[in-house]
Structure 1
Amino acid sequence: MKKYNKDIGDYGENLALDYLNRNDYDILYKNFRIRNGEIDIICKFKDIIVFIEVKSRYSYNFGFPSEAVTYLKQKQIINISKYFLLKNKLFNYNCRFDVIEVYFNKNNNLYNINHIKDAFRLY
């Protein structure tokens, strides 16, 4: 089951990357990982560094995909983003935290992408 969920997540991330490329986002990193966790996609849009969490689902049985980005997950993404900005010396950029929801049908031949811009903020 774990491999199945990983495959669904990877497929959703690849579809999200295609969507971002079509919408003029410059991809900086995919799956930026440190000991504390990972950020699915880091990209640049105009003068904004965008940190994106991708959530993929086949059904709404467990709620909307964006609901899986809990307060603790948001805090983890924010901490990893601070490390990323410091490591890469990206001091003069504004940041944004987005969530991309990918909905699949049972045959994997159709999908729908919902891009939630500025889904949460650093306070």
Structure 2
Amino acid sequence: MNHEVGQKGEAIAARYYRQRGYLLLGHNYRTRMGELDLILYKEDLIVFAEVKTRTGRMLAAPAEAVDLYKQRRLRRAAELYLQNSPFAEARVRFDVVEVAPAEKGWQVHCIMDAFQV
């Protein structure tokens, strides 16, 4: 998948969260452990959202790409982010957001609390 499609999916996912009252703190936050697609905040909760964008037909669901290895890297990247953040004491949740083309626009499927800290 190309970079533009991924960026489009992340923008759609960010809009999805903002419409639900979340504040976007950051996107594409890079650490030595990897990248955090979206970092959001709402009511003393930090959400790290991994966005998977699908175009065309794929056999596996995009969320299946977030395996244990990827989860471990996301956790470590989140820990690094929180160390330098005023939100270090906030609750943390990891979401996986699947974005796919739909008949009209894009479909967003958010798997909240997709894996544990």
What TM-score, normalized to structure 1?
Answer: 0.88
Deviations 1:36-83 (A, max 9, x none): 210000010211010000000024424001001111110000001011
Query: 2:116 is matched with which residue?
Result: 121
Given residue 119 of structure 1, which amino acid in structure 2 is its aligned partner? A
Query: 1:31 is matched with which residue?
Result: 28
Shift of 1:89: 4.2
The number of aligned residues is 117
Given residue 82 of structure 2, which amino acid in structure 1 is its aligned partner? L
- Runs (5+) with no aligned partner, structure 2: none
Query: 1:97 is matched with which residue?
Result: 94
SS, match of residue 16 in structure 2: helix
For the aligned residues, what is the CA RMSD?
Answer: 1.6
User: Aligned partners of 1:64, 1:17: CA distance in 2, in Å?
Assistant: 20
What pairs up with 1:1-123 in 2 under 5 angstroms? Answer: 5-105=2-102, 110-122=105-117
| Highest RCO, 1 vs 2 (Cα 8 Å, sep ≥ 6) | 2
